[in-house]
Every structure is written in structure tokens, then in C-alpha cells.
Chains A and B, each alone.
Chain A
Amino acid sequence: MTTDLGMPAFAPRGVGHLRGDQSFPEAAREALGNKQLRSNLGRATATIRTKRAAVVAEVPDWADLRTAGAAIKDAVLADLGAQLLRLEKQVTAHGGHVHWARDANEANRIVTDLVRATGQTDVVKVKSMATQEIGLNEALAEAGIAAWETDLAELIVQLADDRPSHILVPAIHRNRTEIRDIFLREMGRAGVPAPAGLTDEPRELAEAARLHLRAKFLSAQVAISGANFAVAETGTLAVVESEGNGRMCLTLPKTLITVMGIEKLLPTWRDLEVFLQLLPRSSTGERMNPYTSMWTGVTPGDGPQEFHLVLLDNGRTATLADPDGRAALRCIRCSACLNVCPVYERTGGHAYGSVYPGPIGAVLSPQLTGVKDNPSLPFASSLCGACYDVCPVAIDIPTMLVHLRAEAVASKGMKAERAAMGGVSSLMRHPRLYGAALRMGRLGRILGRRRGVIRRLPWPMSAWTRARDLPLPPTETFRDWWVRTHGSP
């Protein structure tokens, strides 16, 4: 065995969904043109925002819970290696098998081999961000294995051959009429078809999905899940959900394979108390989620009799190595930051190019892939700070974005911008020259002499005047006025 003391690896290219084809501004421009998308998103995020605010406000010790959540995560991250070994020991002692996956390719290979060994060609899936991250469904498909999503929203996304656009509500970009159309068109090809005459009533849509999925649950021999939490002390895995589809997958099949990011760990059973309060209130805006499933290895005669846990790194150790970025690993995927983000609300999740959209995606994706592969994401924020306010584990996303912007600039050439920034900085170090430069602003008055405002500016300021006017620069700067009225320079 060798010991590798080099820098931990980033999530590899060519597999999984952490990188987009376009930069954020390009993808956002397209998304902004989609009126239906904006209205779907605006309505949905406003609803969840309001619900969250109400159920958080009623908890008197929310600020303390939040501090505790952050502290527990920081403690486990500071001792991650030892805690993971502790988890492995407990899972193994309870009849489970633990697999270590350095990256998406290794995880996909491990899971594919495990499914192959069962002889099955169909698996049911519990909603899982980790398996979306590594592109597991595609890897299984290449091996001739069909993976069926059973979360309602993931089902909608899968049937439409679409991509998730939200961590919690993957089909948030769809309204119910679009969902009805997808069900009518696609369900038959995947199994039990949608009833003829299906309307867009939520109850009917849910019933169609129930009938479709029931057939899958009852025949499935293998299930694949993610995990919201794992308890190192006991070896217990936990999935929290709303629909009960997860419970079906976690209890009915003979074999259960769980793919979990290594940061999902909690040290002790008692720590769950904090997170089972923080997560549902922050994510769905509920006091408690309807279903919480927990399992520890294998229980003879009850539930899956074969259990595999795949521990996934895929850039997490690299993220952990950065003192100014590692707090992103506290994230419990609640998506509160998405729902309050004015940028996400207008662009939707696809513009981020990664399965992790919104503010947390803008700091997590570039760290998992290396900033070089996602250089536009740290800039996809006005730094308004709404995300930090609602984060249940107090990730200071705006400060982290600023830190990653510096890395993005360092990783790219940015010659023109660097020269401009350097020039302005050195000008600002010389107050006299700076004062003279401000005075030169007066020349800009010529650009708006007709209308009294400036309507068009050359590049790069043309980006401003595409949608906004600029007032005329004053005839006298403040400092010149001060010198004239209050004394000598």
C-alpha cells in the first residue's frame, strides 16, 4: 500500500453533472427568455420561502440550533478520517458492506458491479443528489441496467428526459399542465401508462404516479439510495422524505445500495436531534418531514438482507483542504438558499450547469471540480447575503464566493480586467492623481448632453446601458467642492 501525500483530486471530467456546457451568464440569458419558467419559479419559490419563514420564526432557539448545526459539522469535518473509519466499523459489525469511492468513476463502477452481481436489470431509486452528481443512472444504463426514479419530481424529470433544476424540488421549473402532458406522453414507455383523460389536478397527477410506481416497488429486487445523514457512533443511515417512496425502496427490495458523500457524517446519535429540526423547517417549510427512515446494517428477517454503503469523495477532500472554502461541506442540501436567492429565482437551476444550483451550488460545484472548470459560478451572485441569513448551518456563502472569485481570477488570464483593476488600484493609492481622474469624469457629460442622461456607453459599460441610464457626471466633484468651500487641498 502506498501513501499519497499530494493534493486531493477534484471530481473528474467526462462523468457526472457538475459542469455545464455554457458559462453562467450565457445560460442565464437563455433561461431569462423563458417566461413560463420564470413564472413557475417565481410562484414556487415564493410559496416555500413564506412557509419556511413561518416555521423558523416559531422556534425560539433557532439561532442556537443553527450554531449547533454548524459546530457539529465542523467538528466532524475536522476529524473526518477517523469518523469515517468509525462508521465503517459499525456498518460492517451490523452486517453491511462498506466501499470507498475516490470519485464518480469508481462509485459508478462499484454500484454497477454490485447490481450485476444480483443478476437484476432493473433498480428503483430513492431521490439522491450524490447519484445525480456522479451520473449513476447513465452509467447503469450503459451496463444495461434501468434505474427508475421513484421520487415524484425526479420521476417527472426522468420521464421528460430533463435535468433536475432544484435540490429539493427537481421539477420546480415545470407547472402541472406540463407535468400532465409528460405523464400522458411518457409513462406508458416506462411501465404502467397514465390513465386516459388525466387532468392537471394535483390529486389525479399523484394518483397516476402512485399507480405507475407501485408496479415498480412490488417487482424491484434492488434499490439505490443516497443518505441525508450517517451516524458514525452507531453505523445508522438516515433518509428524510415527504412521499413515502423512499420508505418503499428502503424496505421492500432484497438488496440496498446507498451512495453517500463523505461529508454527510454526524458523530453521534444525539446529533440527529439538531439536524432533524433544522432540515425539514429549512427545506420544505414543515415542522417535521412525513417520513424518516433509519437503518443500521442488516436486520435479519426485516428489510433488505444485503446492504452496501458506498462512500463518495469526488472532490470533497479537495474542498476540505481549503480553510476558506471547507464550510461548504456543512451543507445538508435543504435548498433554503435557492428559494431566497434573487438570481436563482430568475434563472432557475439549469443555468448553473451543475446538479447543485443556486448559492450553495455556486460555492460547492467550483470546489468539487476545481474553480478552473467552473470559473463563472462564483460570479453568479449580487452578494446580497440572503442565502447566508437562511442557511441552517451558517455557511457564509457571500464571503466564500468572494474568496472563490479571487481563485477564478488567478486560474484564468483575465489580462484586460487585471490591467484595469491594477490601474485603478494604483490610481487610488495617489490621492492627487485620483482627484484629477475623478474630475475627468466631467468629460462624460458630453455623452448625455441632449437628454440629460447617458443612454449608451462603449464596452464594457455597454452592459450597463443596455437596460439602464447613467446620470451625467457632475460639473464639480465632491472633493473639489470641499476644497473650494472648506479650505486648501
Chain B
Amino acid sequence: MRVALFITCLVDAMFPQVGKATVGLLERLGYDVDVPLQQTCCGQMHTNTGYPDQALPLVRQFADVFAGYDAVVAPSGSCVGSVRHQHAGLASRAGDAGLRRQVDAVAARTYELSEFLIDVHGTADVGAYYPHRVTYHPTCHSLRLLQVGDRPHRLLRAVRGLELVDLPGAETCCGFGGTFALKNADVSAAMLADKVEAVISTGAGVCSAGDSSCLMHIGGGLSRGDLPVRTVHLAEILAST
């Protein structure tokens, strides 16, 4: 099986440890992982900020770069959500039927990490050990666009040493929302404050999620409040032994 890692621009630039963990985990599970270096970004920021024309070349590029693989895996529900739910619309909007067929084919083989592990690899127990008290924020796009359901929780429950604690109001958005955090910074910050309060109330030492973007937001709030909770991506926990 030819598996490609779609690293996502944010992880590439800001959170390389998440990418390394994803590679390490997939290799440990026996996959031959490739990272095509022609990849850049899914274009979600452009699409969601109102620039579909500027997103289109990135959609085309994504479809070209990942065309030859059996599976494309990304440590992000949001970026995979964009690939699966926005790329087709952007191709159609451009009136490009060929591109539409191409993106449909690639999107059908593109997986968020927990989907790949549960649905393709077929196990919740990836042999991880992580002796910490962890709470999980199920990021909006994983939850509602991809409908990953309890896949991340099943993976976490199988991790040895890990104590998973429920996050109150878990399904409420943390307020990141891409450029929303800048364009509506005050509302975003008010949403963040409530999310941070919920995280603290769990008594967990680690807040995890399947998206580095949401974790960057929650982590930014925790850090600003000098609060003793670390944000750790799901991939990093699952890669730990």
C-alpha cells in the first residue's frame, strides 16, 4: 500500500513534531510512508476567507501531487475536511470537469489520521504508552464535516497508562475558525476563554485534539493564562511508546 503523508502547511511550518510523530507511528505500524515534497496547502484559508480563485491552483496542485497513492493521511480533520468537502465545489465552480473527477478520486482516498487507523488499518490499539491524564477536544471539522465520531476516543482508550477524562462542552467550537480568529478576534477570544475554562475544570495535564490549528488556539489561551496544561496532538500521543 502506497501511503502519502499530507503534512499540512501549519504542521510543516509550526509543529514539525506532529509530522514526525505521524511518520513514526505509521512506520511502526508497517507502512512505507512517502512525503511528496511538491505538496503545500489544501487552500482552505483562501476558500474560507472568500478567495476561491486563489484556492483553485492549490486544489489542482493537491490533486496532482497525491494522484498516485493508495491512501493520503493527514494529521488534521480540518484540512481533510477541506479536501473532501470543498475541493469538488471549487473544481465545479471553475467549470473544470476533468479536475472535478480528479479531486473526487483523490478525496475518496484522503483520510484524517484517526479514520485511517480505525477504518483502513483496522485497529484501535496502536501499541502506544502515555502515562498522563488527558482530555480530548473533538475539533469541529473532524466532528461535523468528517463525522469521525468516537474514533479518536477509541484510540486513546487503548493507549496504556493514559487516563482519558471527559471535556465539558466538548463539542463547542474553541473559537479558532481560521481567519475568524483575526477578523472577529473578540468573539473568538470569548469562545476561547470558555474552552480554556472547560479544559482546566477537567484537571487534565494534557489537552489533545486531532488538529494543530485548534490546539495552537487553545494552547495560546492556556499559555497566556500561565495555566499548567500542555496541548499535545493525537498523533504525538499515539506515537509515544
B40 and A382 contact, CB distance less than 8 A: no
- Point out which of B85, B180, B217 has the most chain A C-beta atoms below 10 A from its C-beta: B180
Q: A425 at the A/B interface (Cβ < 8 Å)? A: yes
Q: B221 at the A/B interface (Cβ < 8 Å)? A: yes
Taking A388-B144, A425-B58 as contacts, is the C-beta distance between A479 and B220 under 8 angstroms? no
B180 and A382 contact, CB distance less than 8 A: yes
B20 and A478 contact, CB distance less than 8 A: yes
- Which residues of chain B have C-beta atoms less than 8 A from A428's C-beta? 9, 40-41, 43, 57-58, 61
| Chain B 31-51 near chain A by CB (<8 Å), digits 1 or 0 | 000010111110101111111
A467 and B189 contact, CB distance less than 8 A: yes
On chain A, the number of residues with a Cβ less than 8 Å from chain B's Cβ atoms is 66
Q: A489 at the A/B interface (Cβ < 8 Å)? A: yes
**Which residue of chain A has its CB nearest to the CB of B231?**
A471
Q: A184 at the A/B interface (Cβ < 8 Å)? A: no
A379 and B16 contact, CB distance less than 8 A: no
Q: How far does the alpha carbon of A38 sit from the alpha carbon of B12 in the complex, in Å?
A: 38
Q: How far does the alpha carbon of A29 sit from the alpha carbon of B187 in the complex, in Å?
A: 7
Q: A347 at the A/B interface (Cβ < 8 Å)? A: yes
B192 and A383 contact, CB distance less than 8 A: no
Q: B124 at the A/B interface (Cβ < 8 Å)? A: no
| Chain A 419-445 near chain B by CB (<8 Å), digits 1 or 0 | 001101110110100110010010000
Q: A380 at the A/B interface (Cβ < 8 Å)? A: yes
- Point out which of B12, B23, B85, B145 has the most chain A C-beta atoms below 10 A from its C-beta: B12
| Chain A 463-476 near chain B by CB (<8 Å), digits 1 or 0 | 11011111101101
**Which residue of chain B has its CB nearest to the CB of A434?**
B40
Q: How far does the alpha carbon of A424 sit from the alpha carbon of B178 in the complex, in Å?
A: 15
Secondary structure at chain B's binding surface: helix, strand, loop or mixed? helix
B38 and A431 contact, CB distance less than 8 A: yes
Contact with B49, one of A386, A405, A455, A469 (Cβ below 8 angstroms): A405
Name the segment of B96-104, B106-114, B127-135, B168-176 touching the other chain: B168-176
Secondary structure at chain A's binding surface: helix, strand, loop or mixed? helix
- Which residues of chain A have C-beta atoms less than 8 A from B29's C-beta? none
Q: How far does the alpha carbon of A460 sit from the alpha carbon of B183 in the complex, in Å?
A: 9
- Which residues of chain A have C-beta atoms less than 8 A from B173's C-beta? 342, 382, 384, 386
On chain B, the number of residues with a Cβ less than 8 Å from chain A's Cβ atoms is 69
Name the segment of A267-275, A331-339, A480-488 touching the other chain: A480-488
B54 and A473 contact, CB distance less than 8 A: no
Q: B19 at the A/B interface (Cβ < 8 Å)? A: yes
Contact with B16, one of A381, A399, A431, A477 (Cβ below 8 angstroms): A477
CB distance from A110 to the nearest CB of B (A): 38
Q: A243 at the A/B interface (Cβ < 8 Å)? A: no
B185 and A470 contact, CB distance less than 8 A: no
Q: A385 at the A/B interface (Cβ < 8 Å)? A: yes
- Which residues of chain B have C-beta atoms less than 8 A from A385's C-beta? 140-141, 143-145
B51 and A425 contact, CB distance less than 8 A: yes
Taking A418-B51, A422-B54, A435-B37 as contacts, is the C-beta distance between A28 and B16 under 8 angstroms? no
- Point out which of A408, A453, A463 has the most chain B C-beta atoms below 10 A from its C-beta: A463
Q: How far does the alpha carbon of A409 sit from the alpha carbon of B37 in the complex, in Å?
A: 32
B14 and A425 contact, CB distance less than 8 A: no
Q: B72 at the A/B interface (Cβ < 8 Å)? A: no
- Point out which of A32, A405, A486 has the most chain B C-beta atoms below 10 A from its C-beta: A405
A382-B175, A467-B192, A467-B193 given; name 6 further pairs at CB < 8 Å.
Answer: A32-B186, A32-B190, A379-B179, A381-B177, A384-B177, A482-B19
10 A–B contacts from the bound complex (CB under 8 Å): A382-B175, A382-B176, A389-B144, A399-B89, A405-B49, A407-B50, A418-B51, A429-B40, A463-B182, A482-B23
A-B CB proximity, top 5 nearest = A382-B177, A468-B220, A405-B50, A409-B50, A384-B173
By a beta-carbon cutoff of 8 Å, the part of chain A in contact with chain B is: 24-25, 28-29, 32, 38, 342-343, 346-347, 378-386, 388-389, 399, 402, 405-410, 417-418, 421-422, 424-426, 428-429, 431, 434-435, 438, 441, 453, 455, 460-461, 463-464, 466-471, 473-474, 476-479, 481-483, 486, 489
